[in-house]
Chain A
Amino acid sequence: MDNLFNRKYIVQGLFIVVALILVGQLFYIQVASDRYFLSANSNVLRKKYTFPARGVILDRNNKVIVQNEPVYDLMVTPNLVKEFDTLAFCNIIGIDMKGFHKRFDKARNQSRYQRTVFEKQLSVQTYAALQERLSRFPGFETQNRTVRHYPDSIAGQFFGYVKEVSAKDIEDSEGYYRPGDYIGKSGVEREYNDVLRGERGVENTIYNAKNVPQGSYLDGKFDTLAVSGETLISSLNIDIQKLGEQLMHNKVGSIVAIEPSTGEVLAFVSSPTYDPNLMVGRQQGNNYMDIFRQPNRPFTVRPLSGYYSPGSSFKPLDALLGLQEGVIDPNTTFNCPGYYWAGNHQVKCEHVDGNISLRKGLARSCNTYACYVFQKLMTQKKFKNKIEAYDSWEAKVRKFGLGSKLDLDMPFERKGRLFTSEEYTKRFGKYWGYTTIISLAIGQGEMSATPLQMANIMAIIANRGYYMKPHLIKGIGEKKNVRKEYLTKNYVDVDTRHFEPVIDGMQDAVNAAYGTARASAIPDILFCGKTGTVQNPHGKNHSVFIGFAPRDNPKIAIAVIVENAGFGSSYAAPIASYMTEKYLTGKLSGNRGERAEWMKKQVILPDMPKPKVKLPPYQADSVKPVPVQQPVNQSTSIN
């Protein structure tokens, strides 16, 4: 043996080192990294999604008010596309060659082997034309989807709209949503999105290297069928909703009608409105901008977010609190010389009635009477100071749902406005008293309510002392579930017996010869209500009416606001009476049908700001500008 024998170890050592290098690299790609494992799955698996139909929405009489309509997405698998007659293809789907290449490149950049959307939401007609010739366009196929259709073209703000998910929605959903899914963006579609959306179906198919399907993955173990969304039964009565929108046509304002015994919202009119069908389909984006640019902001949901001083319609509350506190009784009279002196300033009254009682005071909407009651409430001996007196008053008013959200099942509800004593001290300093804030007695000043809150106050009076939380959906799914919170009575801590005298006054307001809304009486039905004429420093007064009917066992409580329409009796009260009669009897009696037609034709729109002139902010609030709002002009809009 020579010393060359030792070279054996070098050769064997080399073999060992190489084997270790191989095992090391194998360890890296097989054990340390799962990148290759994931790549293998994406090589082989193709997921095909089937989209669920969104839940149908019915009105309270089970009439379909939202349904689904088939549309077809055109899909393309780029690597399967072979030469074909692109011109004919473009003509069918209505795009040009440039558009074709743009779409095709986009799809190819996404994936050569996976199906991607080429063109969204082809109509049934386009689909039919395409389907005949689809075999001539290899690589293209269609995928069924559904979009919303609103047969009555009404209640846009109630429904809201559905849109494809944004990148942010996908991120927020933590993997639930995928690009192309739909999501409710506003209104009921948003609030009940989780029950309406249903479940997406998925089919896992294995593909071989030549992109030929090889059957389902693990015999369909992970496949699911699409599950349609739940049906919703809304509380709306589609007949009065439609009437309400017609009556409010060419006017700005809201109508909210509630069934007092249940809190179910019967009508939810926000004017100006828009056809919800415009927010569906390929033109959604363009239509959105068109509606967005319109004056008076059709997208604003006024019943929830419009701020109005309640005005005279607040007076029943004065009376109720006065009776409950015992500072007045039904027979108490005050002298009205046509004004009320609050310290050194005068609150004017529309009339001189001399000694006036509660019943007549409400019927005639006497400011003096309301101010006296407020004065008495604020100067009760049991209070040590004005702060305590105000805090007590404020707490009682809040019980009626003012100044806080009613938790309607709709997004973007606003809470209205009611000052606390601290806020007054901040504004006026140490020296303020009931005379400083006497405007509150007549529903003006630092008080704003949404139309929903006003309608709810009517429901409280109709129920003689409590309300059910107002809601728009009274049944979810087959079991017709309803949220629990809508089944409890919310008491306002005013005794039932105190309501009758107030209701007497409200009955007279509509039905007595001297009532403010005499012209809006409904034949054979005791319609109780209260007009309001809300001062508006920015233009004509708002016309307000709140009421309920019939007097005994009321079926409907209603609030109507017509902006810039002057007296409550001139527009709001008649509109409320037509709505009420239609709801209770299904028709309008006598010549009231013609009068309603006349009302539909009236145009009461705020003066349009002239272009390029900076104007004070548009706002519904009658007293104080809301700071976030910006000037409106013709070409650009706000919010």
Chain B
Amino acid sequence: MAEIRLEGVTKRFGRTAAVEDLSLTIADGEFLVLLGPTGAGKTTALRLVAGLERPDAGRIAIGGRDVTAEPPAARDVTFVFQQYSLYPHLSVYDNLAFPLRSPTRRVPEAEIETTVRELARLLQIEDKLKNRATQLSGGQMQRVAIGRALVRRPSVYLMDEPLSSLDAKLRADLRLELKRIQVDLGATILYVTHDQIEAMTLATRIGVIDRGRLVQVGSPREIYEQPVDTYVAQRLGQPAINLLPADLLPANRLAAGTRTVGARTEHIRVTPADGQARGRVKWVEHLGDQSHLHIALDGHSLVALVDPDTALERDAAVDITLADPLCFDAAGRRIG
């Protein structure tokens, strides 16, 4: 286990900067999730730590040792890929044993066998060890892939959207499993995703990344409640935050200079009104435990959350007020 330290790391591909001036420290035993949309540079950041890319500028240290110039094999890291995770020409057993059979490690075959069998028990794939890697289901494949990362005890675990190719149920199961494993091992994990639920549930801290730049780092609650700008605010929250002109709706409190208010569902009070009201219900989405109310208002649309037993129906008139919304200035920075 070890901490990861990135100092002013920059990586360009041609003229575009995939990662720009990235400074970030991931503490020993921390689960840090890099969150951002496709192309934001999060995978490149991960590959830089792994040594699969060399930075154009900056320094990377793992466990206090400068590894900027070291090849991947020397860094004592492990990497779970989004896909292509298993060697198709090897059996499940050989896939799991592969990292231990590296010529640099020279683990005796008997010890490999014990380790692999133990791990297979943990991952509940004991009966699949003899199978070709290609004969597994998607969930089993990804569990083996994670198992291959766990088979040796590296100082740092790097994961690139390891759950994104799985279906919803498996993703939820493996998410819990991953968190449990991380807590059990006290592992340092740098995890990349564009899925806000993974970020919220797994992370000790979240780093939000946009066009190669780290925009904000903080605990999931901090990122959710105190986003530095509209970009970060839009990354978290389900349904997504409503960004509206400051003068559109009455609010109990607005910071001076607010141009845009960010109203999450919990900031919105919806009350039924008579026909004179400005808000009009366009659509009610019943999700079972809650309902989403899609409201049209002076050419803007917003989404609010209401009780599942709401009496509001399509075309109903509603009044809306905001309670403690997020306030952003003209440049999109949060000012209150």
Tell whether A pairs with B.
no
**Residues of B participating in the A interface, judged by any CB pair closer than 8 Å:** none
**Residues of A participating in the B interface, judged by any CB pair closer than 8 Å:** none
